[in-house]
Structure 1
Amino acid sequence: MPGPQRLLSSLCLLLLAIALVLGAGWQAGRFARDGLMATLHGRLEVYGQSLDAMLGRFDHLPATAALDPTLVRLAQSHDPALVAPVNDYLRTVSRRTGAAVLYLIGTDGTTLAASNWDQPNSYVGINFGYRPYFQQAMEGRDGHFYGTGTLTGIPGYFIAAPVRAPLADGGRIVGTVVVKVLLDAMETVWRDAGDLVLLTDRHGIAFLSSLPDWKLRTTRELDALALDELADTRQYGRDSYPPLPFTMPHRLGTPVQTVDGRYLLYGRALERDGWSLLVLQDAAPVRRAQSLAAAAMALLLALALAGGLAWRQRFRRLQERERSRAALEQARLDLERKVVERTADLSTANAKLEREVEQRRHTEQELRAAQNELVQAAKLAALGQMAAGVTHELNQPLTALRGLAENCRALLDRGREEDVRDNLAFMADLVDRMAKITSQLRGFSRRSDGPPEPVPLARAVRDALALVERRLADQGIAVDLGLPSGGLVVGFEPVRLQQVLVNLLRNAADALRDRPNPRIRVTGHVNMDKTISLSVTDNGPGIGFEVMPRLFEPFFTTKPAGEGLGLGLAISQAIAREYGAQLSAGSGPEGGACFTLTFPPLTERSPTGEEKNHAPA
């Protein structure tokens, strides 16, 4: 069976080649790893000794400073006269020893004196009773704590020692002396050496690091108890601690450990405060040595097999090329078919979209026409309700005209031509008055859906009042005008603005029916955002809370049956929105209703198309 024998031989050769390649890589990696082991061990010892030496300089400084008699008296008596000498003493000691800050804390946790007493971030008067180092010192022990300064935001290592009263006074603890040491110099040394070095606390938080991005990140997940402790002591001044970009081993102290296949780690626990010093080395040299050795072995094996596989590889390449050509041709045909199908779908969708757009345009035209008809109907209804007042206004001048005409005939018979001329002039004035009344009604009744134009607000109010003047007079309603003397100009269609104002005035008159001392006030002003507001306020019963949500609904009315269709406010709001204005309702200062028209700032376009603000006249 030559076939199975050939397969078995090939499998054995393959397994042998794999073993040789892996063995060469493993051996090369072991040699490289052993070389790095000695280097990491030496660096760890040097960095650990440097840290111990640096902090050892300050371990006994607080206890030594606490022996100063003046400082002890200040801690006992809190005498303000002793603060300045103690401040000078602490500053002198701080400068000579190189400490960042040296300060004295009273038994209540408040700082009594400090070496930085004259600095903007002075510790004097600040309470540090929540810090663990203060609590440890008040228990009679040396306090140690690393954290971020809550006042300055600068991290440092705090060493504290208790201040005791003289034995004659019982030797009790009367305060705490604290020294703050900055460890930034250690990070600078590590960074200049080009090493990845971390110093972690007992929670696993890296509070010193040669790599700034790794600072205040944790080597393990923090439990709720640790987070509460960090929050209570305000150790680092933050609420969350993201994890480091590698997973730490459970135990330290083994010679060299590989972390996530990316780093070689050498670390050991320090005797100080549960700290751990970690030195990491990129594992790339080990991986590179393994890769080079494995590649070299693989290259040798490949050269041995290259001669036998060359012809077979060439044959397979030709086959692959032919299959690729066939696959590309098939893909081209499939793509052309999909393009044709997609083009047909897009054409169908485009035609459907055009039909929908045309239907929507037609619907909008019908809706606008219906709205215009509804507006015109409301205007004609309002004209019908004003007919009685207009008839009364016309009857008076007509009666006067008849009497004057009879008087002119008698005067002519007597030859008093001068008196006839006076009567004719008065008759002309009466005719002008009648023409003014009918022209206002004719203008109010005509259809108007033109573009907006500058309209003086005072003139629009005056024309609207003229249309309802008779009704206001019949009800004895007083009208107060509060429009600025300079005048306000808004962008609106004049007749439609007049219709809105008439509706508001008529509604106000309806609300004042049978009310004592009825009054309507029309006011206008310019708002801070350049909009213009016009308010129509009455002293009637006001708008009920239950009515307000439905006030602008079509066919909703609170008037008795037969006195209104409930369209006036709905149409007025629709007209206002059509010209960019807003109609709102509320309560007036006297408890009545207040309807406010808010107009947008008036703009006009120059012949070049540039917009210009139109200030109030």
Structure 2
Amino acid sequence: MLLAGVAAYHFSARVGLAALRADTRHDLDLLATAVDGSVTRYEHLPSAVALSSEVLRLLRAGKDEFEPLQPAANHYLEQLNGFFGGLAIFVLDVDGTVVASSDWIYSDNLLGQNQKLRSYFQAAVRGAPDRYYAIDETRNEAGYFFAHPIRDEGQDWRIVGVAVVKISLSELERRWMPRDEPMLLADANGVVIVASVPEWKYTVLRPLSGEVAAEISAARRFADQAIRPFPVTLDATGSGVAALVSFPEAPTLVGGRRLKARDFVVETRQLSGTGWQLVTFADLRARRADALTDAALGAAATGCVLLLGLFLHQRRRTLKSRAEAQALLQKANAELEQKVSLRTADLTAANERLRAEVAERERAEQTLRAAQDELVQAAKLAVLGQLATGITHELTQPLGALRTLGGNAIEFMRRGDQATAQGNLQIMATLVDRMGEIIDPLKTYARKSPARPASVDVAHALRNALFLLDQKLRRAGVDVDNRCEPGRALAWCDQNRLEQVLVNLIGNAVDAMGESPVRRLRLEAEAGGPGRLLVRVIDSGPGLSADALAHIFEPFFTTKPVGVGLGLGLAISQDIVRDFGGELSAANHTDGGAVFTLDLPAAGENHA
């Protein structure tokens, strides 16, 4: 009975610890997502400040123009900060001096302060956006800073200042106060910046290197706060092994609530968006009490089994062999019926789970398909937005001619010259047809419709794509060599989706040839294997590096400068081509430049 109790205790303790860790990890994942989202939602706000005309005019102004322009910039930052609910938004010049701030109305504002020693300023003024946790000595107020360089388009995009957004982490502390178990949040250096136990704030989970300690001291990052070691040693690496810690005394939470427990299970999560560590401490007392209860039950059950065994042994000695055989037969029959019933129940439950999984997969596939269609339509509308200037130019001349010819026709009709008026009206009809030819490809391209495979003339799809990109090709000075003849290459796909893929590939080729002395775009189509058609887009740009070739079709991977592209065009194009039963590949051409190949199913009898 003692051995059974010990075994039951250890087994129950292991099971309870595993369940406790699973519950803690689940809560930690939810909390990590909430913390990461509530902080990183401000990271794009400094770039919006950098686009403000009031801020740019202030940074461009000389000494005589500075004071008249400063109030407008201050009011803009005040309105923006009031909308997003941060602590402050301010702008620094290249010397690190605050020239505009949202808190200008307060007496302890940031205007005129110099923050050139802050690492976020030093990084941003070199052109790299940065984020930083520190204590503002002016108000003795902790905050998280987002910094972004401000570039002046009128000065060849030279950096003329730095936009900074400061947010408060007090909301995170308020969320943790009602919890009955300790939690903390540490920065990338291991310094605790938010904690449900006040004593833990500004302690360090691991020893700081000399370089990091010197940087914190020189920049007075935590003002006069002393950085102390954490009360216990933590394995805060997130290795997946259960880490148990015991504090010298029970921690006291915010509000003076002292816990009864000193032993905890530690779980850690890395926040991908900020580089911080989120650490939770789960109380072990309830699990240990359950383990002791299970040990007592195990010992008692073992004693009952032993007593029952002795009773049955004595009974078997007194029963006759026939009665014993009958009892054994009844027992075997009952066990068999129980196993059959349990097995039937297990199979029924497994069948129900399988049906539920199949239904869930079907719903997920429908949701994924709808999201993909929306993403494809958004990409088409983004291309149409880029083409708006060129289409406006194409329509301006016919509209002006229509106005002139219409006025002339009215004058000739008034004079009785019907023949000349009729000629003007015929010219107007011709111009209207020309405008329809310009607008019709745009309407077809912008239409949101499900993919319906059909026989598509690749030459016609290429012609529409080149028409949509005509203004971009002219401005870039690209020589187009279209070797695809009408009626020679027929593919089995959706024409609207194929045109979108071609527009994306041709647009990328034009961007890749921006710095090339020779800008030549070659388009060709030829038969591949049986029932296949190969369409190639070849440019004379610098080609693709080995790293780019390895990741070219991954979402959000792009070789373009920051802010120019999202890295979704090729990923969307590859999904579209695969829906046709084709494949999109990239390589470097033997004559230089890059070549993108569309391997499409050819239209034929099998698709009739």
- The TM-score with structure 2 as length reference comes to 0.45
Structure number with greater Rg is 1
- The TM-score with structure 1 as length reference comes to 0.44
